[in-house]
Structure 1
Amino acid sequence: MAGAQCCENPPSLNPSCGEGSVECLVGSIKAYVTGSVSSKKAVILASDVFGFEAPNLRKLADKVAASGFFVVVPDYFYGDPYVPEKCAIPEWVKIHGPDKGFEDTMPLIADLRSKGISAIGAAGFCWGAKVVAELTKTDEIQAAVMLHPSLVTVDDIKDVKVPIAILAAETDHISPPELIKQFEEILSSKSEVNSFVKIFLGVAHGWTVRYKTDDDAAVKRAEEAHSHMIEWFTKYVS
């Protein structure tokens, strides 16, 4: 499900932020790209409903790139990220479903591989976690990370085929700890799939990308999740 927590603490979008650049990689979809183009490893970051111009997300993309990955943050919403004042979140999701995000990712992956990328990881935040859930059912990526997932179901987790880390929040009405524990039980029964599940105490849905940069405690908690994500990709995307 998608709900009010998906919309809390909206970022101030900034199309010029980040150390990378915005490019049109394949078709009509634009993306923020950062990192060495000579890297053989790539990570795709699927945003939450606020899209690819969120400063904290781009800052994280730059951090992942500094670990040796070519990073791509697609504009899955084609310039139409969620704006709380314009409509309710369920109405917006009807127009911008994660199924379309998954469809857009497939040619993007093919394009990356045509340019010499040999290993790809994908991380999804809130809305983007559903895109990543669909990718984990394919052979197109080597590893996945979901951060405070939205719309992801038990049936999705049953079909996971690649190493996956799920980083969840203690206070989350979208994917509450009870659901995350179900995910963990399912993954624990899949001996062929490496997994890591952690529920972070004292944080709420969206904490990894929608924190206030002047809140030292919030930054520290977000950075802890970022470190887990980068460690996961370093281990499995090679």
Structure 2
Amino acid sequence: MSFMPVSACCLKGSILPGTPRGVMEPADSSRQVTRYHATPSDGVVVNDKAAVVLYTDLFGLGIPNPKIMADVFADKLGMHVFVPDFILRPPDPSVLDNVQPSYPEKFQHRSVFSSISSWLGFIFFKAYQLVPIIMNAKGHITISEKAIHDLKAEGFTTFGAVGYCRGGAVVCHLLSPADKSPTLLSCGVIIHPSPERETWDRIDKPTVWHMADHDQLFGEDKLDELRKVAEAKMKEGLEFKCVVHEDTSHGFAARPALEHEPTKKAFEEANADAVAFFKKHLLDTAAQT
């Protein structure tokens, strides 16, 4: 199964080609959270009570990628797909370009002087853009929960979520409420998340993780720990799969460097697997009930 094969020549930076076709639905008296809403291009919705919620990386809806990907998910699944606007002040898309490699070998030939210069430029002129995101982690969870409550109020009853980077950590929290209240989700796909460890053991819904093997935010020690949690969960009978993509860096599935073949392959595989996962847990399950 393919997701959205695209050529490297179509890519501008890490921005996916295409024009979003869904609609922005602003917060109002009946809706707490602004969101992007994608529906199948052929107009055929196979389950009007189920929805996929896509939680973005730190760039939020400031770049078109999550909207374009939501459109593809909607077509592949025949479902409503929503992208909540939970990153209220997203940074400029270029903020990490010179300090976070989009694939492992990108900066391998850069001199020590260039590396130091890039980091100093980031620290003094760009890092401030990330402060609101870092300081508002709990706020992201609150907004993300409200987005699902909006959908419940509109008649949706079953939810799957896919999250990237900060959005991946949000999905972890939604799958594992700290107060032990029922989770809002039936299943979740977590892709190169930020590493909030405290949620993992509480997850008791089908979950699949897609990880980079060279993730600056999620080191080898964390990856080993996640593998152990996955192994224990699987022994207990819970679907809790962990896939590690070789020769990839953080962001490969949301802002891919398509000129790098392993990243392009991982982008395609992770998102295609998310489609198959949601078909199994949201569509096939609904057909059996």
TM range, smaller chain: 0.7 to 0.9
What per-residue deviation string (whole Å, max 9, x for no partner) do you get for residues 99-139 of structure 1?
21211122221221232222101111111111111101142
CA contact (8 A) 2:15 2:65 kept: no
Residue matched to 1:6: none
CA contact (8 A) 1:17 1:53 kept: no
**Quick check: 1:113 aligned with 2:152?**
yes
Larger Rg: 2
Query: Residues 124-203 of structure 1 correspond to what in structure 2 (within 5 A)?
Result: 124-138=163-177, 139-153=183-197, 155-190=198-233, 191-203=236-248
Determine which structure has the larger helix proportion and give its number: 2
Sort the Cα spacing of 1:178 and 1:232 in 2 relative to 1 into closer, same or farther, 3 A.
farther
Secondary structure at the counterpart of residue 26 of structure 2: strand
CA contact (8 A) 1:39 1:68 kept: no
Identify unmatched segments of 5+ residues in structure 1.
1-8
**Letter of the 1:23 counterpart:** E
Shift of 1:17: 3.8
Residue matched to 2:279: 234
What per-residue deviation string (whole Å, max 9, x for no partner) do you get for residues 129-164 of structure 1?
1111110114210001111111321x2111112111
Q: Distance in 2 between matches of 1:89 and 1:188?
A: 38
Q: Distance in 1 between matches of 2:145 and 2:66?
A: 22
**Letter of the 1:210 counterpart:** R
TM-score normalised according to structure 2 size: 0.70
CA contact (8 A) 2:37 2:81 kept: yes
Secondary structure at the counterpart of residue 60 of structure 2: coil
What CA RMSD, in Å, does the superposition of the two structures yield over aligned residues?
2.7
Sort the Cα spacing of 1:150 and 1:89 in 2 relative to 1 into closer, same or farther, 3 A.
farther
Q: Distance in 1 between matches of 2:199 and 2:63?
A: 27
CA contact (8 A) 2:15 2:63 kept: yes
Residue matched to 2:56: 47
Residue matched to 1:57: 66
**Quick check: 1:225 aligned with 2:270?**
yes
Residue matched to 1:69: 79
TM-score normalised according to structure 1 size: 0.83
Shift of 1:44: 1.0
Determine which structure has the larger strand proportion and give its number: 1
Secondary structure at the counterpart of residue 252 of structure 2: coil
What per-residue deviation string (whole Å, max 9, x for no partner) do you get for residues 193-217 of structure 1?
2111000001111001112456666
Q: Distance in 2 between matches of 1:203 and 1:224?
A: 12
